[in-house]
Amino acid sequence: MRDGAPGADHRGTLRGRRRHEWAVAYMLLVPALLLFAVFSFYPFFRNFKLMLYETPPVPGVPAHYVGLHQIIPTITSTQFTQSLVTTLVFVVLVVPISLLAGLALAVAAHRKLKGMAVYRMIFSSTVVSSVAVASVVFGTLLNPVVGLLPWLGINPSPPALESSTWALPSVAVITIWQFLGLSFIIMTAGLQSVPDELLEAARIDGAGSWTRFWRMTVPLLSPTIFFGVVVSTIYAFQAFGAVDILIGPTNTVRLHTNVLIYNIVNTLQISNNAGAAAIMATVLFLILLGLTILQMRFLERRVSYAR
Amino acid sequence: MAQVSFDAVTKRFGHTTAVDELTLDVADGELLVLLGSSGCGKTTALRLVAGLEEVTAGTVSIGERVVNEVDPKDRDVAMVFQSYALYPHLTVGKNIEFPLRQRGVSKDERMARVAKAADTLGLSELLGRKPAQLSGGQRQRVALARAIVREPTVFLMDEPLSNLDAALRVQTRADIVELQSRLRTTTLYVTHDQVEAMTMGHRIAVMSDGKLQQVATPEHLYALPANAFVAHFLGSPGMNLVEGLLVDSGAPGTLCFAFPGASVPLPTEVADAVRGSGPDVVLGLRPEALQLSPEGSISATVVIVELLGAETHVICHTETGARLIVRQVASAAKPALGEAVRIAVDPDPRSYHLFDSSTGDRLGSAA
Amino acid sequence: MPADEATETASAPTPVAQPEAGAPVRSTRRTRKPRRRLRAIGSYTILSAGAVVVLFPIYVTIVNSLLAPDQLVEQPPPLVPTTPQWHNYTQAWTTGQMSKYVLTSVIMTALIVAGQLVTSILAAYAFAFLNFPFKRTLFVVCLATLMIPLEVTFITNLDTITSLHWFNTYAGLAIPFLATGFGIFLLRQAFLQIPRDLQEAAQLDCYGHLRFMTRVAVPLARPSLAALGVFSFLAAWNQYLWPLVSTGGTSPLYTVQIGLKQLLGTQVTQIPVSLAGAVIAFVPLVILLLVFQKQLVRSLTAGAVK
């Protein structure tokens, strides 16, 4: 705890000086705390209030109080459960592939060969891509007329983004590509934290490169891998933009790409039901909170590892 | 035969030469110490034997075999790193077992050898723990156990004691010496600590700037250093080195070493050996060869008196500003600060070391 | 203990190496491991394949943005634009309104980055250098905001914005994001690295808080400030959900990201223009990455590596 503040306080008494310090501290914190209160905590708690009001699907009719009765129907509604399932499928598609790809590239780029800096720059570059850019880029690639697929001889009918089986995986590919940069950066940082001396010792002890990788690098990398899993899962759960850009309201396969947030936004804007949206948002929050707590628990246990 | 040989070995990193034309033989069963300050190339030389660095020029041999192109895992060497490099995610037992697993040794055999190595180093109780739960000394012993369990041809040790506190260091030093003499494995030991070198090595190879300065037994290095660097490096405090001139003294056939404020007559053997060398020389005198005495041949002023309990170091400055440290027993009279004194040199010819003032090499008879 | 070369007497002259036994001079032989070469080639292959996979979509986008619509439908599509249609870019910029969108993004991002830096500096300073009741609790409160994602708060925030008449304004776009728990966490850590001695020396020199903050703390925390700045810029520029829902109406204040959505159409004639728009949106960030790679990596791995 930092004691003593730089500051000639001519107020004389120790008590006065301390009070002065408190005042300064609170003043410094006001901007941030005020913003947090208004835009983070108030909305969070207000969700619980919103959940108690239902807006009927009839336009113009205001919301009326229904207490807790809205919660169960919303959670068990097919629309919600199905969007939950869709999102889970999406997560399962995105997380392992993007982490493995990031790991593979990080390992490949970890050598002391010439030109590594360039490759590292290339592999981390997707971290700056936005969801909109990635969607536009891949949307074009998947376009039935001008895209990549016809050139490769694949002419799916209906086109990828309108096919009930392929629409979600296509969106997943976009997300994987976009997340690749971050995955690479995280894995590279993890690899750098494995001490060279350990691998040298293993080498002298007779371990070949394959053994060194699986028995040394991967176990020591497990905290990083776990961190990557949590970050990418949270990221995948929050998928929205790609769906919004590429799957329009007229798209027949909307149901198959109805990820959670997309569902929430639609419920809010189209069905105008803030209450239901709030309920779904809270469920999402609980899922994300659970994941984060899991991560902290797991990492606590593993911290005793590398020292 | 488990000899280790360096033959004109050079290692360059870009433009820097870390090891320069090193030629050195480590005899079978010997514990050879590579001694020098940081950056002198000793650790690089060690890593060349391990195969962790590639030789730029020259050959490294283990036994009869040139190992330049041989992968570390096929060289049958074991290394103890300064930081121990224990595998943090494995238990002590698994750490020690690791080298054996890679060699396809049967499970029973592995367990037996691990148990034996652990027993030798007093680790039998700790086999289930992880490195993070061990003290520094215990981790060090695990590193040693991992090295001996393979019964390799060569041990390589990179400053294994430098992370231990002083008391533990003394104890472990003795343990390593005892272990090595029992196992009789050829050992290459790197350190910057000359006390370790002197007490542990059968022979010491002193290195500086990537070059070998001298390799000899500790006694020989101490008594007959081959150059001024080695002379000053060994010994605590290091040898006094003073610049001066060789002049004829009054009596025919005798020489004196002179500088302002001092005229040190050289014993006949010493004079005969260095006759013919240029007038500019450097004289080396160990602190224990000096004494404060009214008949001394060097005049100086006392600057600092260090009381060390069993002995006293009197640090003096000559008229030219040269620094001389005189070692006294505790019972001798201690001078006052600023006092003008005279310093006498032991007449034994072995106390005199003369070096060329430009090259630093020893003058006179071969070291 | 040995080896201080600084004897004030004769400086030990540089010793010349004398090997024990005179060794004949050998001709230097370059040692090479052919196996190592093979491994290097294998690595480069994987790396190049990965680079192709990552860069290919971007490359195709750039190429396609310079094609005319009829070139676009060729099979196979051309891999190099022979007659680059630069007018696609001017079209995206003017008719496609990219100029407006870029301006909006720039202003919004500048506001958010400035705001986050300032609020984080102030709050982190308080947590790092001052003592006051509830300090620990308040810090946890700040970190807790990181648990509350936008997806949960946007519903109410939309109402708040609207009732303040901030819908479709810069205020509405930027103000909810002017403070961030991540920034406070990062900068507090940086401030805590400043040695206690500096604080006490400043105290003896009668520095007030403002002077200490501006003259000592902030300059010393520059690397973390840069990291935070780059991260905030990236996050703000690439935002999608909030700019989408908080703007609208007759003259919507779209950012570059939402603008891209508008630009995209499935008609073949529209595509090169929308791709040009994507390139316009992407390029500033690539420059950001090239210049600030280190800072960016630092901020992204702040939580990962202990």
Rounded mean pLDDT of B179-201?
93
Mind listing the pLDDT tens digit for each residue in B73-93?
889 999 999 988 999 889 999
Tally of CB atoms within 10 A around C281: 27
Given a contact cutoff of 8 angstroms between Cβ atoms, the answer to whether B284 and B241 are in contact is yes
Task: Output the pTM of the full model.
Answer: 0.77
Instruction: Please indicate if any CB of chain C lies within 8 Å of the CB of A191.
Output: no
Residue C282 to residue A129, Cβ atoms within 8 A: yes
Higher pLDDT, B267 or C29: B267
DSSP state of C217: I
Given a contact cutoff of 8 angstroms between Cβ atoms, the answer to whether B302 and B335 are in contact is yes
Determine the Cα–Cα distance for residues C3 and A40; give it in Å rounded to an integer.
63
Mind listing the pLDDT tens digit for each residue in C225-241?
998 998 899 889 988 88
Residues of B in contact with C12 (CB under 8 A): 228-229, 232, 241, 282, 360
Across the strands, what pairs with B11? B19
Rounded mean pLDDT of C267-293?
82
Instruction: Please indicate if any CB of chain C lies within 8 Å of the CB of A293.
Output: no
Residues of A in contact with C44 (CB under 8 A): 113
Q: Given this structure, which CATH class describes domain A74-302?
A: mainly alpha
- Quote the pLDDT of residue C1: 36
Which residues fall within 8 angstroms of residue B160, CB to CB, at 6 or more apart? B80, B81, B82, B84, B140, B143, B144, B172, B176
Residue B98 to residue A203, Cβ atoms within 8 A: no
Given a contact cutoff of 8 angstroms between Cβ atoms, the answer to whether B339 and B302 are in contact is yes
- Quote the pLDDT of residue A72: 81
Residue C240 to residue A21, Cβ atoms within 8 A: no
Residues of B in contact with A196 (CB under 8 A): none
Tally of CB atoms within 10 A around A272: 17
Mind listing the pLDDT tens digit for each residue in B41-78?
999 999 999 999 999 999 999 988 999 988 888 899 99
Given a contact cutoff of 8 angstroms between Cβ atoms, the answer to whether B338 and B352 are in contact is no
Determine the Cα–Cα distance for residues B167 and B190; give it in Å rounded to an integer.
20
With b meaning 16 or more CB within 10 Å and e meaning fewer, what string describes A94-106? bbebbbebbbebb
Which residues fall within 8 angstroms of residue B241, CB to CB, at 6 or more apart? B228, B231, B232, B282, B283, B284, B355, C7, C9, C10, C12
Q: What is the CA radius of gyration of chain A?
A: 25
Residue B242 to residue C12, Cβ atoms within 8 A: no
Residues of C in contact with B7 (CB under 8 A): 23, 26
pLDDT band of residue C76 (cuts 50, 70, 90) is: low
Does a cis peptide bond (omega within 30 degrees of 0) precede residue B237? yes
Residue A150 to residue C241, Cβ atoms within 8 A: no
DSSP state of C77: P
pLDDT above 50: residue C20: no
Environment class of A114 (CB within 10 Å of its CB; exposed 0-12, middle 13-18, buried 19+): exposed
Which residue do the tokens 């074009």 mark?
Answer: A140
Residues of B in contact with A203 (CB under 8 A): 52, 72-73
Chains in contact with C via at least 3 Cβ–Cβ pairs below 8 Å? A, B
Across the strands, what pairs with B26? B4
The encoded tokens of residue B174 equal 């003795």
Residue C10 to residue B238, Cβ atoms within 8 A: no
Q: How far is C-alpha C130 from the chain's CA centre?
A: 30
Show me where the domains of chain A are located.
74-302
Residue A6 to residue C212, Cβ atoms within 8 A: yes
Rounded mean pLDDT of C80-88?
80
Rounded mean pLDDT of B341-348?
91
- Quote the pLDDT of residue A42: 92
C17 CB-side CA count, 13 A: 20
B-contacting residues of A 212-231, CB under 8 Å? 216, 219-220
Measure in Å the smallest separation between the Cα of B302 and chain C Cα atoms.
Answer: 15
Question: Least CA distance to C263: which residue of chain A?
Answer: A136
Determine the Cα–Cα distance for residues B249 and B257; give it in Å rounded to an integer.
9
Residues of C in contact with B207 (CB under 8 A): none
Across the strands, what pairs with C193? none
Q: Which of A200, A205, A304 sits opposite B99 (nearest CB)?
A: A205
pLDDT above 80: residue C270: no
- H-type helices in chain B, by residue range? 42-50, 92-101, 107-120, 136-148, 166-183, 194-200, 218-223, 228-233, 268-274
Spell out which chain C residues touch chain B, with contact meaning CB-CB distance below 8 angstroms.
Answer: 1-5, 7-10, 12-21, 23, 25-26, 28-31, 33
pLDDT band of residue B199 (cuts 50, 70, 90) is: very high
The encoded tokens of residue A174 equal 């976009």
Which residues fall within 8 angstroms of residue C8, CB to CB, at 6 or more apart? B317, B321, B322, B323
- Interface predicted TM-score (ipTM) of this complex, two decimals: 0.78
**Number of residues written out for chain B:** 367
Residue type, C108: M
Query: Got the DSSP string for C14-35?
Result: PPPP--SSPPPPPPP-----HH
Residue A125 to residue C154, Cβ atoms within 8 A: no
Which residue do the tokens 């962790």 mark?
Answer: B52
Lowest mean pLDDT: which of B276-280, C18-22, C261-265? C18-22
Q: In terms of Cα–Cα distance, which of A233, A238, A236, A240 is closest to A293?
A: A233
Higher pLDDT, A27 or C78: A27
C-contacting residues of B 155-194, CB under 8 Å? 192-194
Environment class of A257 (CB within 10 Å of its CB; exposed 0-12, middle 13-18, buried 19+): buried
Higher pLDDT, B37 or A262: B37
- Quote the pLDDT of residue C95: 78
Q: How far is C-alpha A238 from the chain's CA centre?
A: 6
Determine the Cα–Cα distance for residues A63 and A61; give it in Å rounded to an integer.
7
Query: Got the DSSP string for A71-102?
Result: HHHHHHSHHHHHHHHHHHHHHHHHHHHHHHHH
Measure in Å the smallest separation between the Cα of B198 and chain A Cα atoms.
Answer: 28
Residues of B in contact with A307 (CB under 8 A): 88, 132
Residue B322 to residue C10, Cβ atoms within 8 A: yes
Measure in Å the smallest separation between the Cα of C116 and chain B Cα atoms.
Answer: 40
Residue A132 to residue C261, Cβ atoms within 8 A: yes
C74 CB-side CA count, 13 A: 13
Q: In terms of Cα–Cα distance, which of B6, B174, B175, B148 is closest to B80?
A: B148
Q: Which of A18, A35, A285 sits opposite C179 (nearest CB)?
A: A35
Residue A204 to residue B102, Cβ atoms within 8 A: no
- Quote the pLDDT of residue C304: 55
Query: Which stretches in chain A have pLDDT values below 70?
Result: 1-12, 59, 144-160, 249-252, 299-307
Instruction: Please indicate if any CB of chain C lies within 8 Å of the CB of B53.
Output: no
Domains in chain B (CATH in brackets) are 4-224 (3.40.50.300), 232-356 (2.40.50.140)
- Quote the pLDDT of residue A10: 53
SS (H, E, C) A60-72: CCCCEECHHHHHH
Determine the Cα–Cα distance for residues B46 and B106; give it in Å rounded to an integer.
31
Instruction: Please indicate if any CB of chain C lies within 8 Å of the CB of A265.
Output: yes
**Distance between the two ends of chain A, CA-based, in angstroms?**
26
Size of interface A-B (CB pairs under 8 A): 60
Mutate to test the interface with C, among B191, B195, B303, B323 (most CBs of C within 10 A): B323
Tally of CB atoms within 10 A around C259: 27
Measure in Å the smallest separation between the Cα of A298 and chain C Cα atoms.
Answer: 13
Residues of C in contact with B211 (CB under 8 A): 15, 17
Q: Does domain C96-263 have CATH number 3.40.50.300?
A: no
Measure in Å the smallest separation between the Cα of C32 and chain B Cα atoms.
Answer: 8
Determine the Cα–Cα distance for residues B86 and A169; give it in Å rounded to an integer.
44
Residue A126 to residue C271, Cβ atoms within 8 A: no
Mutate to test the interface with B, among C5, C7, C32 (most CBs of B within 10 A): C7
Mind listing the pLDDT tens digit for each residue in B223-269?
999 999 999 999 888 899 999 988 887 777 788 888 888 888 888 88
Q: Which of A204, A211, A304 sits opposite B79 (nearest CB)?
A: A204
Coil, helix or strand for B123?
Answer: coil
Determine the Cα–Cα distance for residues B348 and A225; give it in Å rounded to an integer.
71
Residue B87 to residue A198, Cβ atoms within 8 A: yes
Show me where the domains of chain C are located.
96-263
- Quote the pLDDT of residue A34: 94
Question: Least CA distance to C15: which residue of chain B?
Answer: B360
Share of chain C above pLDDT 70, in %: 84
DSSP state of C175: G
Which residues fall within 8 angstroms of residue B275, CB to CB, at 6 or more apart? B255
Q: Which of B73, B83, B130 sits opposite A204 (nearest CB)?
A: B73
Size of interface B-C (CB pairs under 8 A): 119
pLDDT band of residue C293 (cuts 50, 70, 90) is: confident
Rounded mean pLDDT of C272-291?
85
Tally of CB atoms within 10 A around B69: 14
**Number of residues written out for chain A:** 307
- Quote the pLDDT of residue B306: 92
Which residues fall within 8 angstroms of residue A142, CB to CB, at 6 or more apart? A148, A149, A159, A160, A161, A170
Residue B243 to residue C9, Cβ atoms within 8 A: yes
Q: How far is C-alpha A166 from the chain's CA centre?
A: 22
User: Which range among B98-102, B229-233, C43-47 has the greatest average pLDDT?
Assistant: B229-233
Determine the Cα–Cα distance for residues A187 and C13; give it in Å rounded to an integer.
51
CA angle B227, B228, B231 (to 5 degrees): 90
Q: Which of C4, C8, C26 sits opposite B321 (nearest CB)?
A: C8
B216 CB-side CA count, 13 A: 21
- Quote the pLDDT of residue B188: 96
Residues of B in contact with A205 (CB under 8 A): 73, 78, 98-99, 102, 146, 150
Residue A128 to residue C286, Cβ atoms within 8 A: yes
Instruction: Please indicate if any CB of chain B lies within 8 Å of the CB of A202.
Output: yes
Q: Which of C2, C12, C23 sits opposite B8 (nearest CB)?
A: C23
Q: What is the CA radius of gyration of chain B?
A: 25
The encoded tokens of residue A275 equal 């209450």
Which residue do the tokens 């190592």 mark?
Answer: C36
Q: In terms of Cα–Cα distance, which of C211, C224, C148, C218 is closest to C185?
A: C224
- How do beta strands B255-259 and B240-248 pair? antiparallel
